[in-house]
Structure 1
Amino acid sequence: MTAQFLAVGVGCRSGVAAEVIVDLVEAALARTARADLAVALFTVVDKSSEPGIAEAAGRLGLTLVHLPRVALETVADRVATRSQKVIELFGVPSIAEGSALAGAGAAGRLLFPRIADRGATVAVAISGEDGGTP
């Protein structure tokens, strides 16, 4: 049995600075009040060339996982926020929330809707009791 963990989903406009993402991730994690849990960052593979996300993961000391778009499609009915622009660009309603939910595994759940600032979005999901794979 694997311990629970927090899956932080990240989305952003092209070229968003790492410090913007770091600030949002730190704010979101503070809001969870779950400093006892391991944390990993998740985003869609389409964002793999986005330097701000990779740099933010490095600054935060967190593992960054790039998920296939199909993983976000499988949790699309569970997101709290739907962006028409994201649907048009990626075919899913939310990069941040979808990445968090997909990263948290089948029994994962969002802790709160995404937060957004300066072109970046972050959402946090907690894995199910059996953990899953961070």
Structure 2
Amino acid sequence: MIVAGLGFSSAATVDSLRAAYDAAAASRDVTALATVADKEGHFALTVFAEELSLPLHFVGAADLAGQRTLTCSTRSRATYGTGSVAEASALAAAGKLFGLGARLLSPRQISDDRLATCAIAIGGQT
């Protein structure tokens, strides 16, 4: 099972999320979206998830801290204790939803407007 983790600013639009997702997901068969719980209720995120017809999972900030990411944003590190909200969300959700052994398929991709990031993880891997 494949999860797309999203990180984004409060100014992100549906287009921001779509651009990051499209760059990261490519031709992968994504089965769920995930992001940090404090993003719940963000209008663009809700619309985007509905457009894709994918379930949206919210990960607690404590579950992001300590996740090993491939990239590092100083803002993400300072706010959430992880190098990438997108990567950590994807890993945490894939591990929780689909079994231990989640791993990233690629580092986060950044939207052209730099307002959103997306990373892809697969769960149930050994």
Same fold (TM over 0.5): yes
Structure 1 stretches of at least 4 aligned residues deviating more than 3 Å after TM superposition: none
Q: 100-109 vs 20-29, which deviates more?
A: 20-29
Aligned-CA RMSD value = 1.7
TM-score normalised over the length of structure 2: 0.86
1:16 alignment counterpart: 12
Q: Distance in 2 between matches of 1:129 and 1:108?
A: 6
1:111 and 2:105 matched: yes
**Native 8 Å contact 1:10 1:53 kept in 2:** no
Distance 1:46 1:54 in 2: 13
Aligned pairs (5 A) from 1:1-134: 5-30=1-26, 33-35=27-29, 39-75=31-67, 78-105=68-95, 106-117=100-111, 118=113, 119-129=115-125
Shift of 1:74: 4.4
What secondary structure does 2:124 align onto?
Answer: coil
Structure 1 pair 74/87, CA: closer, same or farther in 2 (3 Å)? Answer: closer
Matching residue's letter, 1:71 = D
SS of aligned partner of 1:16 = coil
3-state secondary structure, aligned to 1:65: strand
Secondary structure of residue in 2 paired with 1:99: helix
2:90 partner letter: A
> Residues 38-70 of structure 1, C-alpha deviation per residue, up to 9 Å, x if partnerless?
510000001113221121111111110111111
State the one-letter code of the partner of 1:47: K
Paired letter, 2:86: A
Which amino acid counterpart does residue 58 of structure 1 have in structure 2? E
Unaligned regions of 5+ residues in structure 2, if any?
none
The alpha-carbon distance between structure 1 residues 74 and 92, as it changes in their structure 2 partners (threshold 3 A), is: closer
